Structures are given as C-alpha cells and as structure tokens.
C-alpha cells in the first residue's frame, strides 16, 4: 500500500480536474444557446415585418371602403373614364425598353481553417 506523500498536490490536481469538467459541461451547450438566441431574434424580426405588412393591408382594406379609392383604382388599373372625358394611352417608342444587367452572384469566399474553427466556436457558422 502506497501512501500519497503530497496530499496537497493531489487535492490541487483533483480541483483542477473538477473545475475542468465543470467548465466543459458549461461550454458544450454554448452553441445551442447561441443558435436559440439567433432563432428568437429572427422570429422577432419576422413578426415585426408581418405586423407592418398586416397594418399596410388593413390600411388598404379601409381605403377600399371609400368611393374615391374605388374610382382611383378603376381609372388606374382598368383605364375607366367618366362620360365626356378623353383617354390617352402613351406608348414607349420601340427599342427603348429598360434592360438592366443582372448583378452577378458573388463568388464564394474561401476561408482559412483558423477562420472556420473560430466560426465554429462562436457559432457564426450556424447562421450561414
């Protein structure tokens, strides 16, 4: 039977191992916490956008209940005119269509292994 000659060193080693285990158990769910926070932020932004869109649609519904708005839409969309009015249609000359070149897709960025590891640790790769 061997006796521990340095009980203080064994206790310090045991404490370091215990602190290391406690630290690892806290680091493991770190990425899950980050992802959950991102999901909550995304959901809040989506909710705000939907509420804004809903308010716009409600304003459109309210406007459609007026005769002036119905008349404006009939004139604008259907080309209706009142009796006695003259309607004119303006056409663009041939060959003057607006052709805007499409933006090319951005080239994928190659990242170093250090950047990839850092993104993994911080959870930045989860949002991609």
For residue 99, what is the enclosing H or E element?
Answer: none
In tens digits, the chain (128 residues) has pLDDT values of: 455 677 788 888 889 899 888 877 776 677 788 889 999 999 999 999 999 999 999 998 998 899 998 899 888 888 888 899 888 888 888 887 765 556 677 777 788 888 888 887 777 777 65
Report pLDDT for 42.
Answer: 95
Q: Where are the domains of the chain?
A: 7-82
Residues 6+ apart with CB under 8 A from 118: 124
Query: Which pLDDT does position 56 carry in this prediction?
Result: 96
**Tokens 């009142």 found at:** 82
Q: Is 119 exposed, middle or buried (CB count within 10 Å of its CB: 0-12, 13-18, 19+)?
A: middle
């Amino acid at each position: 039977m061997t006796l521990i000659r340095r009980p203080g060193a064994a206790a310090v080693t045991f404490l370091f191992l215990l602190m290391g285990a406690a630290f690892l158990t806290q680091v493991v769910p770190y990425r899950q916490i980050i992802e959950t926070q991102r999901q909550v932020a995304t959901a809040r932004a989506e909710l705000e956008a939907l509420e804004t869109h809903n308010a716009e649609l409600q304003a459109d519904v309210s406007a459609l209940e007026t005769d002036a708005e119905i008349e404006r839409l009939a004139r604008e969309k259907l080309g209706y005119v009142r009796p006695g009015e003259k309607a004119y249609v303006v056409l663009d000359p041939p060959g003057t269509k607006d052709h805007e070149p499409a933006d090319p897709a951005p080239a994928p960025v190659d990242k170093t292994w250090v950047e990839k590891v850092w993104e993994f640790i911080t959870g930045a790769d989860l949002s991609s």
